[in-house]
Structure formats: structure tokens, C-alpha cells
Chains A and B, each alone.
Chain A
Amino acid sequence: MAILIIAEHDNSTLKSATLNTVTAACQMGDELHLLVAGEGCAAVAEAAASVAGVSKVLLADNAAYGRQLAENLSLLIAELGKDYSHVVAPATTTGKNVMPRVAALLDVGQISDIIAVEAADTFQRPIYAGNAIATVQSLDSIKVITVRGTAFDAAASTGSSASVDSVSPAHDAGTSAFVSEEMAKSDRPELTAASVVVSGGRGLGNGENFALLESLADKLGGAVGASRAAVDAGFVPNDMQVGQTGKIVAPDIYFAVGISGAIQHLAGMKDSKVIVAINKDEEAPIFQVADYSLVADLFEAVPELESKL
């Protein structure tokens, strides 16, 4: 049986998390179908049809799916999903919101946030904030799964020319409605997809000082993140949080600036290829996981680093 992958998108572009999920799904089976559910999202379906490994795109274009409301989307995915062996989505806030509803409607369990595929029914996933790795076998006929994007390479966004089939069911539960959103506007790459991440912690002292990190990130073409302490202190918005309950990142270089290194922060970045820590406290736990540790005043070291790069 084929595998149904739920595309992450904003009605205009296919998000890169989808590509990592395709790679994970490839390891579960051969025939991959990608569902694009949204409103006015034909361009996304077109992009989805060229993703390497995808043999069919299902397009559900309806106002009920425009805001990815879980109540409506889960009814659609559960209806389509009953004919598949696996229903797989990225473990983004959208995937996390919708997929457990799908699982419950199909009366199956869900395996969340997988980081490896051992067999078509057996997966590895982090538990206890990544302090242990569980190997879990699904006993259900339909496997509902969310995928941690940073654990899988992105599939090529070109190479396939899958058919695009429109699917008609319009499910509107009528119980929830979109009111408003405040989305961060930034020209920088997405945190979870950036090859360089510069993160700041409580050591920055205030939100204005994050400008130091922003200019370093811009010089390196990177994204800016933050520790929970910096978010809780109100320095920066929540969508910048890296950690167990925030975003999980695994860039080529991670700069931890003025971050002490609480367990919950490490859970979000310890799979980075190279970790650089800059902190004036030489006892900071972050130094125990950093490849390169610089004990220095960040307000001197960061501008110096930027100017010399």
C-alpha cells in the first residue's frame, strides 16, 4: 500500500519540512502520495508534483482547509488515510496539531517526532527531552507518524513529474474559525532549515541587543534563535525559541551566545554539526557540549567576530 504524506505549506509555497518528511517516508515504502490541502494552493501542488520520489499529488483546494484548521483537515486526512499503510506529516506545529486527531479518527496510535526509520513499522524517537531514544514498533494497520525534519536530509525538490489529482471532499466541522495571526516577518532563512543559526540567551540583557546577533547572522546568511530564558524574559518572540518545547535545529554551525545551556535548550540544538559557545561564565554548562568555547564578553566578541569574517 502507498504512503500518504501531508504537505506543509502556506497556500503559496511548499515548506522545506515537507522535503525532509518525503525522505523519511521513502524509507517506509515505495509509493509516495503527497496531499496538498489548502485554499488557492494549486501552485503548491505543482511544486509538490516535482519533488523527487513522489508519484502522485492529491490536491484538496477548499476554503475549509485554507487556515489548516485541525478540525476540518483531520476529517479529510482520516477519510483519505484509511486506504494507506502510513500517513506521515512533518512534526511542525501544524503536523503536531492535526495528526493526533487523524490517528484518533482512524482508531490507531501515533508515533510522534521520529528521528530514524528502522523498518516499515519500527521507528526511533526521542523521549525525555532527547535524554533517551526509544525504538518503537507500531502494532496498527495504519501508521500515523510525525517526522522530525532535522533528522532526515531534504529530498530533491525537482526530478519527478507526478500527476495532480483533485480530491473533492470538503469537510467543515463548523466549530472553529480563524481570527488573526501575528507572524514574524524576516528575510532570514527559517530557523529549522538554516545552515547557520546564531542564538542568544539571557546574557544579551535585552531585546535591542539581539541586533548584534542579527548582523552576525546576516553576514553568514543565517537565522537568529533564542533560549527559553530570553523568550520568557520578553527579549524576543516565542517563534525564535530553540529547545525541547520550541524549535529543534541542526545547522552546520550553531552559535550559542550568552546562553548557559539548560538541558531543555540542549535538546533543541545538540545535533548541530559544529557548536560554538560564547559566554563570560567559564562554568556555563553549554561549554560541555560546544566544539569551540570562547570565554569572553559577548558584547566585545560578537562585533569582533562579525568584523573579521
Chain B
Amino acid sequence: MKVLVAVKRVIDYNVKVRVKPDNSDVDLANVKMALNPFCEIAVEEAVRLKESGAASEVVVVSIGPKACQEQIRTALALGADRGIQIETEELPESLNVAKLLAKVVEEEQPGLVILGKQSIDADNNQTGQMLGALLNRPQGTFASEVKIDGDSVNVTREVDGGLQTLNLKLPAIVTTDLRLNEPRYAKLPDIMKAKRKPLDVKTPADLGVELKNHTRLLKVSAPAERQAGIRVASVDELIDKLKNEAKVL
């Protein structure tokens, strides 16, 4: 079984985000970029499936300007076999991403597609589900455990009240939550080897997909800052403040 993993280049999660003074967007100039953490978990899961014998090949795909090849190489260093970059000038909206991925799925015919549940920039949490709908395939979102069982997969999902396990007929879509696995660190020889792994570049036109805008970004502003309050010296003072100043007790 082939596994396809979709990955996204995003701002490094340690970087403090700043809004541009003209409120047009956040400022990404000269900011450290990285593989989206949920996508990294997706790559790790695919590689583990291959190591366990459940998967035969791991193909990683990313959509964006040429710079996203860096993240594809990162995924190849973690153990993916080959990469596909779909070259776009900007980062397309989720539905466009899902349509591009659907075409890649038609070409590659993977048994399982694994994606991060959301990217830490747009925080949309949409692409995997949209891909599932476009392909009419079942989905196991927010996965904390993935077990291949013959021609189906059992996915344990992190839901509001606890955990839910679903059985999905393959081919299927999985999106990762934080506790699915702990991604490995790429070793230097693997990073070197990754440079020689195949990486194809395609365009949306190659795939026959026309990108369409569904939203317009009007403004990006900084959230209201919360001011630090006061230090209280004792539990008694805390109770007094909560009762008489904040009046919440």
C-alpha cells in the first residue's frame, strides 16, 4: 500500500508572530519557516507504517512556491521515499489545496492519505475533510492511533468528550492530532540521502485544476493585549481581591 502525505511550509512554531503596521497581513519577511508540526507527525506516522510493513512507499506532496521544497526535503530526510511539489505563487485556500491533492491522489492511487489536522498559520482545520469529500473517501480526523487491519483501518480520534474509534474502509484519509506519535530527528546521513531522492515539480495546470478565491482577506490586526495584573502576597489577599475587587466569587 502506498501512503501519500501532504505537508505545508509554515512559520516556525517558536517564532512570535507580528502583524504588519498596515494591517494587511502578518509579517513573514525574514522569519524562520519550518514543517508544520501536525504535518511532521503525519510524515512520521507514514514512515512508521512503512517500517512495520503495512506501507510499501511514502510519497510526500507540498503546495506552494519553490521554497516549500525545503520542507519536502525535511520529510524525505525523515524517511519518505519521494516528493512532489505543486508550484503556486501564493498559498492557495483549503478547497483549492484539496482539489490539487485530489488530482495527485487520482494519479498516485494511495491506500491512505495522511495530513496534519491543521496548519499553525491559518488554523483552518479543513483540507483533509475537504479531500475526503472530493474523493468520496472516509476520514479519521484528529487521530491519536492508526491501525491498519486488512482492507480497513481503525482510527482512534481525539474528540471533545474523550476518544472515539472508527473503522474506515480503505482507501481512506487520516488527519493527525498531537499525540499520534513523537516525530524522530533526522540524522545527518539521512539529510544527505534526502537530497538525492526524487522530487517532481508540477503546476496546477498540469493537474487540470483552476484555482479560485473563495474569501478575501480584508484586514489582519493584533489581538487585544492582556495586561499583567497584580501580585498578591497570600491566599487571603487573593480571596479578598476576587470577592471585593473582581467580584467573581
Contact = CB atoms under 8 A, between A and B. Distances in A.
A interface SS class = mixed
A93 B142 contact: yes
A257 to B, nearest CB: 12
Interface string B176-190: 011100000000000
B118 to A, nearest CB: 8
A290 B228 contact: yes
Interface residues of A, number: 86
B interface SS class = mixed
Given A177-B167, A181-B164, A239-B160, A294 B232 contact: yes
Nearest to A247: B160
Interface in B210-237: 213-223, 226, 228-232, 234-236
Contact of B216 (A139, A173, A252): A139
Given A70-B129, A70-B141, A97-B129, A228 B226 contact: no
B167 A292 contact: no
A94 B159 contact: yes
Contacts of A13: none
B122 interface: yes
Interface in A268-309: 270, 273-276, 287-296, 301, 304-305, 308-309
A209 to B, nearest CB: 18
B109 interface: no
Contacts of B121: 127-128
Contacts of B160: 92-94, 192, 239, 247
Q: For chain B, which range describes its interface: under 10, 10 to 19, 20 to 34, or 35 or more residues? A: 35 or more
Interface string B125-150: 11111111110111101101000000
A175 B169 contact: yes
Contact of A135 (B164, B214, B220): B220
Given A101-B132, A132-B26, A136-B217, A291 B163 contact: no
B39 to A, nearest CB: 14
A69 interface: yes
Interface of A: 69-71, 74, 92-94, 96-105, 107-113, 122, 126-140, 173-184, 192, 220, 228, 231-232, 237-239, 244-245, 247, 252-253, 263, 270, 273-276, 287-296, 301, 304-305, 308-309
Interface of B: 11, 16-17, 19, 26, 93-95, 98, 117-118, 120-134, 136-139, 141-142, 144, 154, 157-169, 172, 177-179, 213-223, 226, 228-232, 234-236, 238-239, 241-242, 246, 248-249
Q: Give the 10 A-B residue pairs with the shortest CB-CB distance, closest first.
A: A109-B214, A291-B229, A100-B129, A104-B133, A104-B130, A101-B133, A100-B126, A175-B138, A176-B138, A135-B219
21 contacts: A96-B141, A96-B142, A99-B129, A100-B130, A101-B130, A101-B132, A101-B133, A108-B95, A110-B124, A110-B130, A126-B123, A132-B223, A137-B218, A173-B136, A174-B169, A175-B138, A181-B161, A238-B177, A245-B118, A288-B228, A291-B246
